[in-house]
Structure 1
Amino acid sequence: MTLMEFFGCSFIAFGPAFALFIFTISRDPLRVIVLIASAFFWLLALLISSILWYAVVPLRKELAFGLVFSVIFQELFRYLFYKILRKADDGLKKVSQTGQDMHVAPRDMTNKHIMSYVSGLGYGIMCGAFSLINVLADMAGPGTIGIYGDSQYFFVSSAVLTLCFILLHTFWGVIFFDAWDQKKYYMIGVVVASHMLVSCLTLLNQRTESRPDPVYLASIIPAYIVMFVMGFLAFVTAGGTYDNLKRSFTCLSSRKYEID
């Protein structure tokens, strides 16, 4: 039973991200490099926030303290990665002019929205991995969920929230990069504020004396509402329209009929 839940929660949390990687990133070496570099910058943000948490001894037991500064450092390093990518635009353009014979001519990497999407997904994958890896290790067993009075929904709720954060980081990456390009500073505030909001919502899953049982739905439902809003904003930011979406569904339907 525990092994089944291990695989189920793993697929819930990382299945969509794995599919996005396989179908949109894995075939392009530059996209893979940007993805890995973005994940590394998230690790740097985690390292700095961990050092701060360790240095401030009186507040080590305050989870909210570490959470708030973790969000701040993540957004600071997202901005730093944005600046580095924009500095590398000339190099990417030169690579995009390389002949097809060398199989390293990803011309669409000069599309800034694609770069922001890839970097956001790298941020999200690394965030999800660190959020859930220890939970997955315990999930594999041996043991029975809830045997000591703990919530039987802890594992699946963790997986669902991890998926939410992976997709959110992907959407935030698209919105954040475009906001700096277009000087839309209010959108940067939207990204940071929504990141802080969703992160603070996870504090509702913490046991306290006044709340012995975590209220998972109180954090999951608002988090997914924010995710859908951010997804819509990212879609519009990347130039998406209703006509484009309708045309995409039409193409998918026609391909399905051709296969049949």
Structure 2
Amino acid sequence: MHFVSITYSVAIQELCRWGFYLLLNRAEAGLNIVSANPKSPFNRPVFAFVSGYGYALMSALVGYISLLVESIGPGVMMCPSCPKATLYFISAITTSLFSLMHMSWMMISFEGFSELPKTKGWLKVIWVIASHYGASFATTLNSSIIVSNGCIYSIIVCLCIIAVSGYIVALSLKSRFKLSRSQQ
């Protein structure tokens, strides 16, 4: 059952990410007018980062609040795959990692959407969708009683995705920096 709900929820989140890009794209001219440096090539990445921060905050609140409500009960829930760690602790780490991933995914996807229909644009969009599915399905290891220390594997998968996504963002910002230096 988890796999069906993960499949639908990631698809809906990615459709909302695309819709949010379309909305921000329409508002970009007005946002550039009120920004401190209207002609900066870094405005779009800043808008994407701020959007990703809001998206990550919303996702973290929705994902973690239901678990916090369950913590009001009389006992402590232990993580099934890592019985020495509480589910609250593992979920807090996972929520933090997903927040970082959402910020980088938003930056990568906004750049990818703006580069479509080029191959680079498609590759960035596909990376965001595939890594979102990968990270989400990796979290099912937290509740696995078959995979020993599944929570550790889940965290490692998320950290690897953050590392690759961060590298993609750094390359993007580096190319924008070179472009801005050449225009001066």
Query: Shorter-chain-normalised TM-score: which range?
Result: 0.7 to 0.9
Q: Which residue of 2 aligns with 1:112?
A: 44
Instruction: Give the AA of the match of 1:63.
Output: H
Q: Which residue of 1 aligns with 2:100?
A: 167
Instruction: Give the AA of the match of 1:120.
Output: G
The yes-or-no answer on 1:236 pairing with 2:171 is yes
Q: Which residue of 1 aligns with 2:162?
A: 227
Structure 1 segment 131-210 matched on structure 2, within 5 A: 131-139=63-71, 143-144=75-76, 146=78, 151-153=83-85, 154-183=87-116, 184-207=121-144
CA-to-aligned-CA distance 1:113-142 (integer Å, 9 cap, x gap): 000001111111111111111223344665
Checking the alignment, whether the CA contact within 8 Å between 2:108 and 2:124 is kept in structure 1 is yes
CA-to-aligned-CA distance 1:172-191 (integer Å, 9 cap, x gap): 01110011112211110011
SS at 1:88 equivalent:
helix
How far 1:201 moved relative to its partner? Answer: 0.5
How far 1:112 moved relative to its partner? Answer: 0.4
Unaligned runs of 5+ in 1: 1-61, 97-104, 242-260
- Measure, in 1, the Cα distance between the counterparts of 2:160 and 2:59: 20
Q: Which residue of 2 aligns with 1:125?
A: 57
TM-score by length of 1: 0.58
- Measure, in 2, the Cα distance between the counterparts of 1:221 and 1:78: 25
Misfit runs of 4+, over 3 Å: 105-110, 137-146
Instruction: Give the AA of the match of 2:168.
Output: L
CA-to-aligned-CA distance 1:191-219 (integer Å, 9 cap, x gap): 100000000111112245xx286621121
Aligned length, in residue pairs: 168
- Measure, in 1, the Cα distance between the counterparts of 2:97 and 2:26: 31
Instruction: Give the AA of the match of 2:46.
Output: I
Structure 1 segment 18-97 matched on structure 2, within 5 A: 62-94=1-33, 96=34
Instruction: Give the AA of the match of 2:69.
Output: A
Q: Which residue of 2 aligns with 1:30?
A: none
Instruction: Give the AA of the match of 2:13.
Output: Q
Residues 108 and 227 (structure 1), Cα distance of their counterparts in 2 relative to 1, 3 Å cut? farther
How far 1:76 moved relative to its partner? Answer: 0.7
Indicate the percent of aligned positions where both proteins have the same amino acid.
28
Unaligned runs of 5+ in 2: 177-184
SS at 2:83 equivalent:
coil
Q: CA RMSD in A?
A: 2.8
- Measure, in 2, the Cα distance between the counterparts of 1:173 and 1:109: 22
The yes-or-no answer on 1:216 pairing with 2:148 is no
- Measure, in 1, the Cα distance between the counterparts of 2:65 and 2:108: 28
Q: Which residue of 2 aligns with 1:14?
A: none
Residues 155 and 213 (structure 1), Cα distance of their counterparts in 2 relative to 1, 3 Å cut? farther
Checking the alignment, whether the CA contact within 8 Å between 1:174 and 1:238 is kept in structure 2 is no
Residues 145 and 75 (structure 1), Cα distance of their counterparts in 2 relative to 1, 3 Å cut? closer
Checking the alignment, whether the CA contact within 8 Å between 2:144 and 2:150 is kept in structure 1 is no
Q: Which residue of 2 aligns with 1:102?
A: none
Residues 85 and 145 (structure 1), Cα distance of their counterparts in 2 relative to 1, 3 Å cut? closer
SS at 1:239 equivalent:
helix
